[in-house]
Structure 1
Amino acid sequence: MNEDVLQTNQLTKIFKKSAALDKVDMSIKKGSIYGFIGQNGAGKSTLIRIVTGLAFPSGGTVELFGQSGQKEIVAARKRIGSIIEGPALFPNLSAADNLEAHRLMKGIPGKDSVARTLQFVGLRDTGKKKAKNFSLGMKQRLGLAIALLGDPEFLILDEPTNGLDPMGVVEMRELLKKLNRERGITILISSHILSELHLLATHFGIIHHGQLLEQLSVKELNEKCQQYIHIKVDDSGKAAAAIESKLETTDFEVIAGGVIKLYKYLDQPGKVSTLLAAAGLEIEQFMPMGEDLESFFTKRIGGVRHG
């Protein structure tokens, strides 16, 4: 279980003297779902294109399934399925004919794999309906089906839920969980929908301006996403002074709207509310809360300075 499916070492890509990737050391363990997080232009798609052979690095190395030699990498890529920059569909062909065309192009034996894969993604009953007439969700599932031809061990998905409605996002999430759970497929997924990644991924990588800032498991993420008491009163300044003097802590912050985030006394909320009431404050909101992945990501990239 500790085998690395993907490992990059000092991976670098230079475009016109600008580093799209800056000495990136990434590792993805077998059996994991790796959520790749970054703003537009952060380097996510560049790394994915290098791993899949659509671009070449300026420096550093890529290892796939423990292989780094040129011939071995080419062979290892046959164990990968991917959706990059949208699924490559033939718009005038049916779902089955799309898969059959891709099966033949890839030289994958066994025509029965087409029906089996369509069944898995829920498109077996689309008949002769052309792909151009599919909904966006159906097109994304057909793209996933194409990526699954040949039973890959590693699935790389670049924004697979982009543009989907909430139900389509849920359907894609459940499909990916099922692939990981039932087939043991390792998945690298980049997405802007951070709340969705938090529900799906087992590990995360945060990239910013070409630099991989951090890699962490979902357990480590949850530990770092601080819990706090959300407090809103009629006078936040008076409340802050009372907390600092009576509770003897400065481990809080006052944010927009006069809301106080108190990171201490999580196990003694009654003590805090009693103090505020005794200070003559009117409590409008008082509840335990915690940061989500989006808040953690925003704070993490906000702490990085680039000269």
Structure 2
Amino acid sequence: MIDYVLRTSQLTKQYKDQYALDKVDLAIPKGSIYGFIGQNGAGKSTLMRIVSGLSFPTSGSIELFGKNAEKEIVQSRKRMGAIIESPALFPHMTAYENMEVHRLQKGVPGKANIGKILELVGLRETGRKKAGNFSMGMKQRLGLAIALLGDPEFLILDEPTNGLDPMGVVEMRELLKRINRETGLTILISSHILSELHQLATHYGIIHRGKLLEQLTVKELNERCQHYLHIKVNDPDRAAAVIERKLDTTEFEVMSGGVIRLFRYLEHPGKVSSELAAAGLEIEQFMPMGEDLESYFAGRIGGAGHE
């Protein structure tokens, strides 16, 4: 049985005649990294704010750590950490001082964990340097450190790579993967950099105009975005026989127009082309193909836009 950290039921947020969320049923398994995908204004931040207690739904409900009574949810939020929009930092304070202020605000006992968390996010050696002089990447990592105060079991990150350079994006991705792997921390993360989410998330939710279009695992996504070798030859039937006999695989499809989709040998395309050429076949097209997360998302959003 799957253990869920967060579930929503028919969650709705309405502003006059506009729906920021429209009957959203979302489920985040324990230990997962849940990539929340949607255009600006799709409803990602609204849902995160409601779960964090910063906003209230018009209707529907949430269940947090298996609890759905209001008092229980308030208590359960103590097991969460979050960065919604920009992290709240005091620019005239050091990283350690920022952490201490937030520790006191949150009521987290003891200072011992501060150094450990700063080390985890790579800020232990910043010393007396003020947060106002930090780079964007350092500020984002300090925001993450603050969210990790109190050893949360569930972390909500709204666009944590905003403003980061490519190296900063990679560092943040690898840090989140390591934290998830080493501690089992469940993470809900939204990002407009879909190529990064594809290298990070274990589960996905696609939201558009307040409606949750789809939830799927990384395995399901990879199956739907399956990569293959696109091969166009002058004699597809003979090419199919060569692939089956010489390459010992039936994992291919013969399409119209003399095209074959070969789902094996993606790492060894030279062997495929060599065998086809040796059989006297004329290769007109030969290239790896397949959708990435961005293409899949665009297809889902495009379809939803015409419903």
Q: Same fold (TM over 0.5)?
A: yes
* Native 8 Å contact 2:231 2:261 kept in 1: no
Q: CA deviation at 1:230?
A: 4.2
For the pair 1:81 / 2:70, whether they are aligned, the reply is: no
SS at match of 1:174: helix
Q: CA deviation at 1:145?
A: 0.3
2: CA distance, partners of 1:143 / 1:166: 19
Name structure 1 gaps, 5 residues minimum.
Answer: 233-238, 254-259
2: CA distance, partners of 1:227 / 1:114: 44
SS at match of 1:200: coil
Name the structure 1 match of 2:24.
Answer: 24
Deviations 1:158-205 (A, max 9, x none): 000111111111111111111111111000000011111111111111
For the pair 1:102 / 2:95, whether they are aligned, the reply is: no
1: CA distance, partners of 2:236 / 2:302: 28
How many residue pairs match? The answer is 289
Q: CA deviation at 1:266?
A: 4.7
Q: What is the CA RMSD across the aligned residues, in angstroms?
A: 2.9
Name the structure 1 match of 2:168.
Answer: 168
Q: In the alignment, residue 135 of structure 1 is paired with which amino acid?
A: S
Residues 263 and 210 from structure 1, CA distance in 2 versus in 1: closer, same or farther, beyond 3 angstroms? farther
SS at match of 1:197: helix
Name the structure 1 match of 2:111.
Answer: 111
Name the structure 2 match of 1:257.
Answer: none
* Native 8 Å contact 2:36 2:207 kept in 1: yes
Name the structure 1 match of 2:246.
Answer: none
Name the structure 2 match of 1:180.
Answer: 180
Q: In the alignment, residue 290 of structure 2 is paired with which amino acid?
A: G
Deviations 1:209-266 (A, max 9, x none): 111111111111100113344469xxxxxx9x9979x99x99569xxxxxx9x57455
Deviations 1:41-68 (A, max 9, x none): 1110111011001111111100000111
1: CA distance, partners of 2:198 / 2:125: 32
Name the structure 2 match of 1:127.
Answer: 127
Deviations 1:64-87 (A, max 9, x none): 001111100100111000011011
Q: Which TM-score applies when normalising by structure 2?
A: 0.85
Q: In the alignment, residue 121 of structure 1 is paired with which amino acid?
A: V
Deviations 1:71-107 (A, max 9, x none): 0010011100001101110011000000000001111
Q: In the alignment, residue 4 of structure 1 is paired with which amino acid?
A: Y
Equivalences for residues 252-263 of structure 1 within 5 A: 262=259
For the pair 1:204 / 2:204, whether they are aligned, the reply is: yes
Q: Which TM-score applies when normalising by structure 1?
A: 0.85
1: CA distance, partners of 2:256 / 2:48: 40
1: CA distance, partners of 2:212 / 2:60: 14
Equivalences for residues 157-306 of structure 1 within 5 A: 157-230=157-230, 251=255, 262=259, 264-266=261-263, 283=284, 286-306=286-306
* Native 8 Å contact 1:228 1:263 kept in 2: no
Residues 138 and 61 from structure 1, CA distance in 2 versus in 1: closer, same or farther, beyond 3 angstroms? same
2: CA distance, partners of 1:242 / 1:151: 62
2: CA distance, partners of 1:19 / 1:156: 22
